[in-house]
Amino acid sequence: MSTAQSQATATQSSIPLDDLRTCIHCGLCTSACPTYLKLGSELDSPRGRIYLMSAVQQGRIGWTGEVVKHLDLCLECRACETACPSGVPYGRLLEAARDEIAKAYPRPWRERLLLKVFRDTLFPYPARLRLALWPVRIAGGLIRKLSGILPDELGRMLELLPQELPDERRYRLPPVVPAAGERRYRVALLTGCVGSVLFARANWATARVLAHNGCEVVIPQDQGCCGALHLHTGASETAREFARRNLKAFPLDDVDAIIVNAAGCGSTLKEYGDMLAGDPAAGPVAERLSAKTKDISEFLSQIDLKPMTHPVPKTVAYHDACHLAHGQGIRKEPRELLAQVPGLRLVELRDAEICCGSAGIYNILQPEMAERLLDDKVDAILATGAEVVATGNPGCLMQIAKGLAGRGGKVQVVHPIEILAQAYGEALP
């Protein structure tokens, strides 16, 4: 690269220099990084990726295919943030780097098409997703049999879908779910885009458990995608547009909390304040929305919980979704809630905090690494002898269910809130 080009890259880079400088290159993060653990290569570790970002920031190298490859392989699981003694905001650095890559690096047409189809067209829009799933709903068996002749990415998408798509009509929520008995709180529920189509049951269970605990649950009808997929794949401006829409949709002044049951979405809502910090009009509202956002397990742990009275006599293993454990620091709350369920035996999972390989659409774009991580996760689950594995994120639910289905499919995969709903006497169809 010429000196002129180098300088242009250095001055144009939007990767925050102050964030890069917090890295003291100690390497304590490497042993927490799933890709480093698998490949043993420094450039596929957090420290190595930070070196690459610094080199681009300083204009010493450009966004070449080789550099992009190492950043693409990052799951953005943020396990490195948990391990880092220096407080490096790795997720923020990676998001800035991916934004730059999206502008500076011409991706092959197939990758661009995949982003266009899955990220830009389908996943953030429940109505389109429903339409796209309609053929699977009526001829799922046949389509799955034909998956071998479909493009690889479509085949992988089909493999991730639940064997039976849920009947959304059974779990449809009204705009307001009244509290059972005296109203103690009024909360708003983010139903999610993929969540509202494929995990309507978890949303229904969330509303029921909240209602049992004296919450009136409002479902804002104008809510949209949280923006996580775009934020993590180099389209942060679109993510900010989604955030602005949600600022208008959620009645901040009328609710005690905004409840989220999907780890990735909750983590993103909690970042709205940072994402919109430069916007004088939206920034302060975004701060307030972030401050009111609570994962369902976090909220239930902070209120005076009504006792669960219906036994769920199962052995349950809990998997930490990355954006719950590393993104939001929520680990003990789901475990403590599950431990209160009568008859339930909670068992710990080996490497519970290591990513399952789902990571948004990573498992579609980076199938090899995603499969290796999934294999480890399934081994760890089967080693516990658990009948049920519980995890609080739609992506993990689909990924782990797919992995277990490939190994006999005897272990049930559920959101923890579904178990809690049963413990409150709700019959989950």
At its nearest, how many Å lie between ligand SF4 and the CB of residue 400? 18
At its nearest, how many Å lie between ligand SF4 and the CB of residue 398? 19
Nearer to ligand SF4, 79 or 346 (CB): 79
| DSSP states of 201-220 | HHHHHHHHHHHHTTEEEE--
User: Residue 325 interacts with ligand SF4 (CB under 6 A)?
Assistant: no
Q: Could you tell me which of 393, 413, 394 has the C-alpha nearest to residue 403?
A: 413
User: Residue 376 interacts with ligand SF4 (CB under 6 A)?
Assistant: no
At its nearest, how many Å lie between ligand SF4 and the CB of residue 142? 37
User: Residue 76 interacts with ligand SF4 (CB under 6 A)?
Assistant: yes
User: Residue 74 interacts with ligand SF4 (CB under 6 A)?
Assistant: yes
Q: Which residues, in sequence order, are CB contacts of 107 under 8 Å at separation 6+?
A: none
Site string for ligand SF4, 80-109 (x = CB under 6 A): x--xx-x-x-x-------------------
C-alpha distance from residue 335 to each of 207, 301, 349, 420 (Å): 20, 10, 12, 12
At its nearest, how many Å lie between ligand SF4 and the CB of residue 320? 13
Strand partners, 257: 187
Question: At how many degrees (to 10) do helices 282-292 and 236-249 cross?
Answer: 70
Contacts to ligand SF4 from residues 34-73, by CB under 6 A = 34-35, 46-47, 49-50
Nearer to ligand SF4, 46 or 124 (CB): 46
Using the rule CB under 6 A, which residue among 9, 15, 20, 29 binds ligand SF4? 29
At its nearest, how many Å lie between ligand SF4 and the CB of residue 379? 19
Query: Angle 252-253-259 (CA atoms, 0-180°, nearest 5)?
Result: 40
Which helix (H) or strand (E) segment holds residue 346: the answer is strand 345-347
At its nearest, how many Å lie between ligand SF4 and the CB of residue 235? 18
Using the rule CB under 6 A, which residue among 6, 10, 19, 27 binds ligand SF4? 27
User: Residue 23 interacts with ligand SF4 (CB under 6 A)?
Assistant: yes
User: Residue 369 interacts with ligand SF4 (CB under 6 A)?
Assistant: no
At its nearest, how many Å lie between ligand SF4 and the CB of residue 75? 4
How many binding residues for ligand SF4 (CB under 6 A)?
A: 27
In angstroms, the CA 193 to CA 172 distance is: 14
Order across the sheet with 388-390: list the strands. 345-347, 315-318, 388-390, 412-414
As given in the structure block, the two tokens for residue 252 are 């901040």
Using the rule CB under 6 A, which residue among 77, 187, 285, 380 binds ligand SF4? 77
In angstroms, the CA 270 to CA 326 distance is: 13
Q: Which residues, in sequence order, are CB contacts of 171 under 8 Å at separation 6+?
A: 200, 201, 203, 204
Residues within the interface to ligand SF4 (CB under 6 A) = 23-29, 32-35, 46-47, 49-50, 74-80, 83-84, 86, 88, 90
